[in-house]
Amino acid sequence: MTTIENLRVAIEELRIKVENGDVDSGKTILSQLKVAMLEFPNNTPEYIQMSLSILELGILLSIVDEDLSAFARNVAQIKIYYSNTSTADNNMKCKVLGLNLMYLLVENRLSEFHAELELLSEVEASAPFVSFPINLERQLMVGSYDEVLKAGLHIPDQSYQFFMDNLLQTVRDSIADCLEVSHKTMGIGDAVKMMKFDSSEELMEYIEEYRDDWIIDEGNNLCFQPPAGGCKGSDIPSMELIAQNLSYATELERIV
């Protein structure tokens, strides 16, 4: 069996790899430590604490690696330890809980997000790591996109940046959807301001990658109108669809 001292050395090496962003070496050490965890004795405070450290570093490593699947697996594992021990470092626990809330926001799994909130103590819910995603969710629900974008400048920890970047992308997509519905055209400068970009170059990059149907006219304005020849309401064979649906309904009634 691996000695405690060797385990401590390996955990510290993993910590250094995570801090330095060395994903490949970090994964190798993490895999070795997780194998060693299978032989850890149960209900031993020292080994429980080492297991917590391993999984917490695994969570941070998955963020550096931008691997959401690995993140979710590590969180699922560590929640078992959090629910069965009181020896966890509360600050780190709140950080993990907050990161998991950020993950659920990015994935738009709001029912799970609120289920997680029900499990928080008052102390945990008021911790900066946890209150940050809670406030973000409230701002998203009321459509305060400006506040969400501003919040991106004040994340509680660098580990939140990956999720914040993904969330900001979602917010900008929502703003873009609103612009398409509410405007036919818009000046590029106004669009930069509305979508909270720092420059027109950033807007152009966004358009090229996500909104290739937006057109820039000769007056340097964005045009949100659908292209000529696009599908219109009058082009949809509504009577044919109604007749077809009635036919399906009749056949279904016969089967039942």
136 within some domain = yes
Does the residue 217 lie in any domain? no
Last residue in a domain, options 110, 139, 158:
158
Q: Is the dihedral of CA 197, 180, 106, 212 positive or negative?
A: negative
Total domains present in the chain? 2
- What range does the domain containing 72 cover? 1-88
Q: What is the mean pLDDT of residues 240-249?
A: 50
For residue range 64-120, what is the model confidence (pLDDT) as tens digits?
999 999 999 999 999 988 887 776 688 999 999 999 999 999 998 999 999 999 999
The dihedral formed by the CA atoms of 123, 128, 129 and 133, expressed in degrees to the nearest 10: 100
| Co-location of 3 and 67 in the same domain | yes
101 within domain boundaries: yes
Question: Dihedral of CA 190/196/200/203: which sign?
Answer: negative
Whether residue 7 is found in the same domain as residue 80: yes
Identify whether 197 is part of a domain. Answer: no
Q: Does residue 232 fall inside a structural domain?
A: no
For the chain, first and last CA: distance in Å?
63
Per the model's pLDDT, the better-predicted residue between 177 and 236 turns out to be 177
In this structure, the answer to whether residues 68 and 129 fall within a common structural domain is no
Residue 43 in any domain: the answer is yes
Instruction: Evaluate if residue 247 carries a pLDDT over 70.
Output: no
Which of 133, 158, 183 is the last residue in one of the domains? 158
The pLDDT tens digits of the residues spanning 140-159 come to 888 887 788 788 778 999 99
